[in-house]
Amino acid sequence: MRKAERLFEIVQLLRRAREPISAQRIANELGSSKRSVYRDITALKAQDVPIRGEAGIGYVLEKGFDMPPLMLTSDELDAAVLGAHWVASRGEPDLAKAALNFLAKIEVVVPERLRGHVLEPATSVAPVDPAFEVVNSSILRNAIRNHRKITLIYEDGSGARAERVVWPILLGYRDAGRILAAWCELRSGFRYFRTDRMISAVTQKQRIPENALALRARWRSEMDQERARYADQPQEDG
């Protein structure tokens, strides 16, 4: 384990502990030695991490301390950069811009030895033609966050248009577009709406009458049941 990773893990251990935690216990958790723990504690204190205690007694982390958020491993950084590039190429304009801003920020704050993971990543995202959309998906994301109903004008596969009032649950991202999972008041059931078939989307002032977690739990339960039914169906030999 690299030193930066050890320091981060020590802070996490101290944060979770309800009482002073000994150097031996920390060493056991990290698979290191007490001598290494003493050195790491000294290094953390030198970085103004408010750790109280001493060898032989135990250590505690003062309340209210927030560890710098970007002590990432190489794999964690690769995952973050790959995800940001995926969003930048497939997200709606607001989210794509946020992904590029994230990459610019992370380039500045990561250690020099890891900067190449951002500037010259080992992973890549295949190019894709974005789906044409009239409705900005940020409207849908904000409605989900704020637990508000949405009035959609939606066009089906035959070109017929209809108004739907929906309770948005989740916005799913695919290579070729996005799909809104929602409870449809007209159909009294969960339905899926492709964003490229939305003609308009207006967020209502009226809040969704069901608890957000309960609504999402019902939706997940129904999805699980559908998957189970599909899995139970006999598969034809190819």
Q: Which two tokens stand for residue 11?
A: 């802070």
Q: Give domain 137-232's CATH architecture.
A: Roll (2.30)
Q: Which two tokens stand for residue 73?
A: 């491993």
CB-based contacts of 173, cutoff 8 Å, min separation 6: 87, 90, 91
Amino acid symbol at 127: P
Distance CA 105, CA 119 (A): 12
CB-based contacts of 74, cutoff 8 Å, min separation 6: 114, 117
Distance CA 148, CA 202 (A): 10
By DSSP bridging, strand 189-194 and strand 177-184 are antiparallel
CB-based contacts of 73, cutoff 8 Å, min separation 6: 2, 5
Distance CA 114, CA 29 (A): 26
By DSSP bridging, strand 198-207 and strand 148-155 are antiparallel
Q: Which CATH number fits domain 3-61: 3.30.413.10, 1.10.10.10, 3.40.1190.20, 1.10.3720.10?
A: 1.10.10.10
What pLDDT, on a 0 to 100 scale, did the predictor assign at position 9?
85
Residue-by-residue pLDDT tens, the chain, 238 positions: 677 778 888 888 888 887 888 999 999 988 899 899 999 999 888 878 889 886 667 899 887 676 555 567 889 899 999 999 999 999 888 999 999 998 988 887 787 888 899 999 999 999 888 778 899 999 999 999 999 999 999 999 899 999 999 999 999 998 878 999 999 999 999 999 999 999 999 999 999 999 999 999 999 999 999 888 887 776 665 4
Q: Which of 161, 214, 210, 164 shows the shortest CA–CA distance to 187?
A: 164
Question: Helix 34-46 crosses helix 23-30 at what angle (to 10 degrees)?
Answer: 100
Amino acid symbol at 132: F
Q: Which of 180, 197, 189 shows the shortest CA–CA distance to 226?
A: 189
* Every domain of the chain and the residues it spans: 3-61, 74-119, 137-232
